[in-house]
Each structure stands twice: as C-alpha cells, then as structure tokens.
Amino acid sequence: MTSTSIAIVNGGGPFLVFMQSTPLHVAFVPKESVELTAWWIMREYGFMGNVTKSNGFSSLSLDNDGMTVICNSIAAEALQQLNPTGVKHSSSTWKAFVINVIGSATEVPGAICYLADKLAKENISILHVSTYQSEVFLVQENDVDKASTVFKSCDSVKQLSEFITSLSDSGGNNNNNNNNCNTNVTNIRDGFELQILPNHVVLSRLCNNQSSMEQIAPILIRLALFDSRYCNIEKNLSAKKTVKKDQNSDSSESNDESNGIQQQQVEEGNEIPFLWMICKCDDEITLLLHGDDYKLFPSGFLAISPQPWKIIKLGGRKIGYDEVGIVAAMSRMEVNVSTLNLSTADSNYALVPNEQLESATKSLSWTLNATVKQLSNISNEQ
C-alpha cells in the first residue's frame, strides 16, 4: 500500500483492508457523448498518462450505456469543464477500501459476498471493482466511519467459514432462517433483468506500469475511441456529416430527417454487447479486455489470467448510488462459484467462469427475482 493508505484491518484474519485517503468522484457519460471526452481520456489514460502519475485508485469502464469514471478531484474538475452532454456526477465523494483476501477472492468464493452482506446490513451502499489482485469497495464519505467499523468486525476466520457454510447449505440462495446468510435483498426494488453477454472477457495486469503505459497508450486510445465495436469517433462524425448534408439538400425536410434517423438505427443495430475497463489501484494497472483484444498488445506487456470470464449484467432498470445490497446480491451464488464484480454508475456486472454460468445465473435470478435474457452480437434489442 502507498503512504496515502490507512490500515483498517492488517493481519491475523482472512482479510487485509486499507482505506485510501484520496477523495474520489464518480461520473457517468452517456454513450452518445463519450466522443466529446476524447481529450480527457487521452489526458488521463493516453499519451500524457496522468493516471500513472497519481496515487490511489482510478477507473474507466465502457459498456453499451456509456462511460463510468472514478477519479480524483483534479481529473473530475477537468471532466466537468468539458461538460459533455448528459454527464452526471455523483453528489457525494467516495473513499476506496482496498481488500486483499488471503488466498484471493476467486480461491475463497463467498468472501466478497460476506463483506458486502455485512455492509448491507448496516445500510451502507457501495460500488465494487475487482482488480487483478485486489477487491475495491467504494463507500460514500458520510459512511466511511461506519464502514471501517464493519470491516474491523469481519476480521474472523470463524465468521467467514460459518458464512460460507451457510451459502453452501442454501445453494447460494437467501435463507431468512439463517442469520449468517441473510442479505438485505428483500429491500431491493424489483424490475431487474439478468442479461447474459455473448462474449467472454479476459482479466489482465500491466507488467511495468510507467514505461509500458507510454507504449500501449495508442492501443488504449484506439480501443476506447476508434474501435467500431465500442466508440468510433470517425464513424460517428461521418454519420453526423451525412445527416447534416441530407438536411441541407434539396430533398424534403421530412425525407432528410428520415434518412438520418435510419442511418443512426443501422449503426446502433451493429453494436455488440460489451464491457471494457482499465483501472489503477496503487501500483497495479488492471485491464478487462473483450475477447481476444489482449492480442493487440505487445508480447510480455500483460500478465493474463488464464480464466476467461462470462458476463452477467444487472439490467432492466438503473441502480441508484444509495441503493443497498446490490453487490451482496450479485455475489451471492453457490459456494463453489468463483466470481468477480464490477459496478458502473447505473448497473452492476458479475463475472463468472463459463462452466459455472448456468448455476450462477440460476442463483442470481432466484435472489433478485429477475428474469434472464441472453443477448446476441447482432443487436441489444433483438
């Protein structure tokens, strides 16, 4: 941990927990405005590489809804000055609790659900990001003291073991007759839909942060801004020019508008469901890459997890920052299911091994009373 981290739980139990002192900001940019943040993305993650020069935690994730950023005050102010259309900033600042599970969270299934469950019982809402080596819980500033107390109370191997046993006994489902396994899921509003993304993702870590970041910056910028699967500035600008040209032509205004709208619909129809992330936690830079995108990087630059992950998105409705129990519910599965998690500004993702996708989906559907939808690469709406 860096000198800016404060030890909350440091040895003797199943977890090491450190709180980073830097206040963090959370912002969301809708997908149609991501291109307007190109300068900011290049400033933070591209050629200027500001993210490697700052301490603490930061994250950028892209999905079909848009871009979620978690950053320090300087980066947040720079984004606010751009003021891209539709941008939303969290009204509260956040603190990052970096959690190292002894043996790693994937080797101790149920550990993250145990911590998230304890926080939910104290009515503490959280965001969660799984990195290559750690788990990061983000807590709003006004809940920091209460969360610290919760983490300190969780420093017991026996309690964790009893909780994991209760998960095993209940098959990952909530059991109101078991006090050790009683997430506050009854307070989660209905309306969710579990969406299974068609492609897998790969979790990787940058091997040499500063020098490697400078060399892979063009690849990151290409993926974030110029890849037609995610956000393609050139294509979007071309489409806008076409619409403008049609509107200025001698054709009728209604026909021009129809042509413009039709073209936009074709572009949207080619969109694939995806999830992409880069985050920095102290000296570690993690990349969550779509499919075979890791092959775009030079050999030896990335340490790659051998486990490909399937993605379960919590869709159907948006999640508010103050909603409690979402991470606990999304990590509540059968005890033998390894899982990673990623919170965005208005959604949540569970990542599970392909061979465990069916059982994980079944458990989550039961816990959240949610329907299940398999997405395709043709269109999000088909």
**For the domain bounded by 5-203+273-374, which CATH number is listed?**
3.30.2130.10
The pLDDT of residue 176 is above 80:
no
* CA atoms of 10 and 16, how far apart (whole Å): 5
> Is a pLDDT exceeding 90 seen at residue 30?
yes
Q: For the chain, what are the domain ranges? A: 5-203+273-374
pLDDT at 178 over 60: no
- Here the tokens at position 119 are 């926080």
Report how far residue 240's alpha carbon sits from residue 7's, in angstroms, rounded to the nearest whole number: 51
What pLDDT digit, counting tens, does each position of 81-103 carry?
999 999 999 999 999 999 988 76
Say how far apart CA 246 and CA 370 lie, in whole Å.
44
Amino acid at 207: C
Position 26 pLDDT exceeds 70 = yes
- Which range among 57-71, 183-197, 224-238 has the greatest average pLDDT? 57-71
pTM score, two decimals? 0.85
For 284-303, how does the pLDDT look when each residue is reduced to its tens digit (9 = 90+)?
A: 899 999 989 999 999 989 99
* 132-169 per-position pLDDT tens digit: 999 999 999 999 999 999 999 887 777 887 887 776 66
Band of residue 263 on the pLDDT scale cut at 50, 70, 90:
very low
58 has which bridge partners? 280
Task: List, in order, residues 6 or more apart from 107 with CB less than 8 Å away.
Answer: 101, 338
Does residue 330 come out as left (phi exceeding 0), alpha (psi in the -120 to 50 range) or beta? alpha
Inter-axis angle of helices 233-248 and 253-269, nearest 10: 160
Q: Do residues 341 and 275 touch, judged by C-beta distance below 8 A?
A: no
pLDDT reported for residue 50: 64
Tens digit of pLDDT for each residue in 200-256? 999 999 987 666 777 888 898 888 888 888 876 656 555 554 544 555 554 444 444
Q: Is the CB of residue 242 less than 8 Å from the CB of residue 257?
A: no
Q: Between 107 and 318, whose confidence is greater?
A: 318
Integer CA distances (angstroms), 97 to 61, 148, 355, in order = 19, 9, 31
According to DSSP, the residues that pair with 7 across neighbouring strands are 18
